[in-house]
Structure 1
Amino acid sequence: MNKSIFDQNAVEEVISRVAKLNATDNAKWGRMTATEMLAHCNLAHQSILKAPKAEKDGGFKKWVTKLYFIYWMKEFPKGAKGPGRFDMKDKVDISLFEEEKSKYKHIIGKYAKLDQKLSGYHPRFGALSHKEWGVFVWRHADHHLRQFGL
């Protein structure tokens, strides 16, 4: 597998990259502002860290999608869409940038220090193992940092 957010070096890399983000930075693709992207990631991370153990696997289609995105692709594509509940477009004021950035660094830092295994259900991929969550979170963070040229 590839990089995992459970590796302290990966966490430090993400924090170092996000530290360079400014409220006025423009995205290379997508519709979100830097503040909206941080709020989107924070909401997703909170959901991931609190997710209960998956009760179902998700079926064949989600399994194939998971294989493709987690095992075969090296990075998420530019047009990848997430679940609507994490859409922050026009829902976060730019004045909250520093607060969202600080929250992001704090939440991302939790992954390398977890005392439990993640095994929640992803809406697009179905049940993910702890290792798969590590890869997914890394790729999600990397995707959005690349979105802003970081």
Structure 2
Amino acid sequence: MSKTILSSQAVNELLVRTEKLNPDIKANWGLMTATEMLVHCNLAHQGILKAPKSDKSATFRQLMFKFVFFNIRSEFPKLAKGPKRFQTAGNAPDASFEEEKSKFVHILSKFPKIDYALDASHPVFGPLTHQQWGIFVWRHVDHHLRQFGV
């Protein structure tokens, strides 16, 4: 069974890994610094928490991507690109690392406590269920923590 950000235990495991992050860690892949990664995740995850319910159906292409992501792959591809609004390379000074890390912890801690359904649309996968969003966010966080070796 896939891990989910909706589980307090899974969030706690991610937070233990997060404690090992520091602004000087170099990425194993990609162009972001650790601070830029935190800003990226904070923007994306805040957006997910606030996203409105989707009223669109998934396209055939989205259904195929969704099937592969949730049934075949177990993690994000290393150089996957997100929407431009969440691209932060070159836009986050290392001086803001501790502030962004604190936000990161705060935002992740919200997921197991939410009392509404996450049912927004994802740009690649189309509409996702609450459970799919939980798996997606966990994999997103895991992907970026592995990116920095934690």
On whether the aligned pair clears a TM of 0.5, the verdict is yes
1:85 aligns with 2:85: yes
Provide the secondary structure at the position in 2 that maps to 1:64: helix
Q: Which residue of 2 aligns with 1:111?
A: 111
Identity within the alignment, %: 54
Provide the secondary structure at the position in 2 that maps to 1:68: helix
Distance 1:87 1:95 in 2: 19
Distance 2:121 2:85 in 1: 15
Deviation at 1:34, TM superposition (A): 0.1
TM-score of the two chains, using structure 1 as the length reference = 0.98
Q: Which residue of 2 aligns with 1:101?
A: 101
Q: Which residue of 1 aligns with 2:6?
A: 6
Deviation at 1:70, TM superposition (A): 1.9
Q: Provide Cα deviations, 1:77-128, integer angstroms capped at 9, x if missing partner.
A: 1111111110001111110000000000000000011111100011111000
Distance 1:70 1:5 in 2: 15
Q: Which residue of 2 aligns with 1:133?
A: 133
- Deviating beyond 6 angstroms after TM superposition, the runs of 4 or more aligned structure 1 residues are none
Query: What is the one-letter code of the residue matched to 2:6?
Result: F
Provide the secondary structure at the position in 1 that maps to 2:145: helix
Provide the secondary structure at the position in 1 that maps to 2:71: helix
Q: Which residue of 1 aligns with 2:18?
A: 18
Query: What is the one-letter code of the residue matched to 1:89?
Result: A
Distance 1:57 1:28 in 2: 37
Q: Provide Cα deviations, 1:31-72, integer angstroms capped at 9, x if missing partner.
A: 000000000000000100000001112311011101111221
Distance 2:138 2:12 in 1: 12
Distance 1:89 1:11 in 2: 25
Distance 2:47 2:73 in 1: 24
Q: Which residue of 1 aligns with 2:66?
A: 66
Distance 2:30 2:57 in 1: 30
| Deviating more after overlay: 33-42 vs 61-70 | 61-70
Aligned residues: 150
